[in-house]
Amino acid sequence: MTPLYEKAQNWLAQDPDTETRTELQNLLNQAQSGDAAAEKELAARFADRLQFGTAGLRGRLQAGSMGMNRVLVAQAAKGLANYLLANDREPSIVIGYDGRKNSQIFAQDTAEIMAGAGIKTLLLPRLLPTPVLAYAIRHFNTTAGVMVTASHNPPDDNGYKVYLGKQHGGGQIVSPADIQIAQQIDLAAQININDYARSPNFDILGEEVINQYIEKTAQLAVQPACDLNYVYTAMHGVGKETLLKTFQAANLPLPHIVVAQAEPDPKFSTVAFPNPEEKGALDLAIALAKEKNAEFIIANDPDADRLAVAIPNEQGEWKPLHGNVVGCMLAWHIAKNRPEKSGTLACSLVSSPALANIAQKCGFANEETLTGFKYIAKVPNLVFGFEEALGYLVDPQKVGDKDGISAAVVFVDLVRSLKAQGKSIQDYLNDFTQEFGAYASSQISLRVNDLADIGKLTDAFRQNPPAQIGENAVVQSKDYMNGAEPNNILVYHLNNGSRLIIRPSGTEPKIKLYLDVKGDNAQHAQSTLQQFEQAVRDLLRSETYGKHDC
């Protein structure tokens, strides 16, 4: 038997899932019968292990060590359990899960393995948003938390997000914890998962923690009551129930619901990608908004840790607001209404440079972090944090991660404050431009089939750094691989004040390029952004940088 076939047989002997076991057995049979395509696919399934990192695990639901499945999750749970036992004399964990395929069984397996290892284990009672899990970590002061979700990834993916509580603050893991947990997982993977101790002695939580989350989040709404006409979509995820209960507790007017996307659906049947940022994802919400003559749209992603907003322009055409725009709207609102002018406004380095301007003018400190809320949430004296990818932390005392439910409460409350002044959302945006200047942002995403292609592009930029982009010279650059915590991020500043950042996605097989400009007014900023984006696309199409079709 070849080493590849032996790996597959060993995996089959452990797999408790009928679907993936049958899938792998059929693939193995085809490979052994001489099917070259099956042999190639089998080799890809066992080429390595799905790597555990600061985003935990995330990948395609499929058999083999390169997929998300019950064997891989059991190994991850056992490795995490061993890490917790080595780092806390009285370890504890709380586990949550969303509505994706296998989320509940992955959470159940994790709970049984944690309890079998002697760790105090709490399991949320049903599928719930990620922010509820993040809240529960602090509420119960557990050593760790696990949320089974792939957030806004494609339907065939799932993931395993790990948090560290107690002295670590309840946020997502950062280095070196990710490396140490990964080492424990590798050791656990050397043992057949059927030999792991399991126990049913874990606690399934009741409604108390959910009600506490709702009560605390509802307190964020403080503006005068008024009628609002708006639309909400849960994007086939788990946000609707918690959001509506929170809005009711806050005495906020309730939205029109996009019924076809209101309930959890692991197939995400009405969207190509269940991500509010993706083209077409808000089409049903926009159709309902037009029907109801709504003022605005809010949307959560499937695990409700992100918030999207859309508004109509003067011609009645609906367009989603960029995450930087919503982030700056919330930042200004929170800064203006916070009685004590102390604390820090923070965003990741790929987010709008406008936040620094807001902080300075409103009397707050400002901090720019590496990408991810695992860094933003750890900023000392944090008042508000955001990331351009629709992530906002408006209540850092409550959770240590982005929270699309509480961000929705504050956004709707902001609209109530505008109504009290006789203003619209567009008026607020105009006021912002007058106060801080006209900023504009966009993003180019290059999806890759082979993860090695990500390194090829960033290597090409390192080997041949651009002297100019379009008609503007590059006057400053920074390579974060040379920093104290190396990251594959490249930053280029141009002589007209524009900025280009290149980085791999932490959760998807993509390379992301972030473009930021500042103009004299909104029209000038948009014109500058369009020219800049065209220049960047031309650069990517050049032979020097891989002739990408973008």
Q: Using an 8 Å Cβ cutoff, are 255 and 231 in contact?
A: yes
Burial 161-185 (b: 16+ CB within 10 A, else e): bbbbbbebebbbbbeebbeebbebb
The SS3 assignment for 528 reads helix
Q: Which residue, 250, 237, 209, is CA-closest to 307? A: 237
Tokens representing 301? Answer: 């992603």
Whether omega for the bond prior to residue 266 falls within 30 degrees of 0, making it cis, is: no
Instruction: Determine the Cα–Cα distance for residues 214 and 68; give it in Å rounded to an integer.
Output: 32
For the four alpha carbons of 392, 396, 398 and 400, in that order, the dihedral sign comes to: positive
- Chain centre distance of CA 181: 21
Longest dimension (CA), the chain: 76
198 exposure class (CB count in 10 Å sphere: 0-12, 13-18, 19+): middle
Count H helices, E strands: the chain?
Answer: 17, 22
Indicate the DSSP class of residue 3. Answer: H
520 exposure class (CB count in 10 Å sphere: 0-12, 13-18, 19+): exposed
Query: Is 406 part of the annotated catalytic residue set?
Result: no
Give the chain's length.
Answer: 550
Which residue in the list 65, 92, 103, 151 is annotated as catalytic? 151
- Chain centre distance of CA 442: 18
Instruction: Determine the Cα–Cα distance for residues 153 and 135; give it in Å rounded to an integer.
Output: 23
Indicate the DSSP class of residue 56. Answer: B
- The DSSP bridge pattern shows strands 157-164 and 171-172 to be antiparallel
- Chain centre distance of CA 279: 17
Instruction: Determine the Cα–Cα distance for residues 58 and 56; give it in Å rounded to an integer.
Output: 7
Q: Annotated active-site positions, please?
A: 151
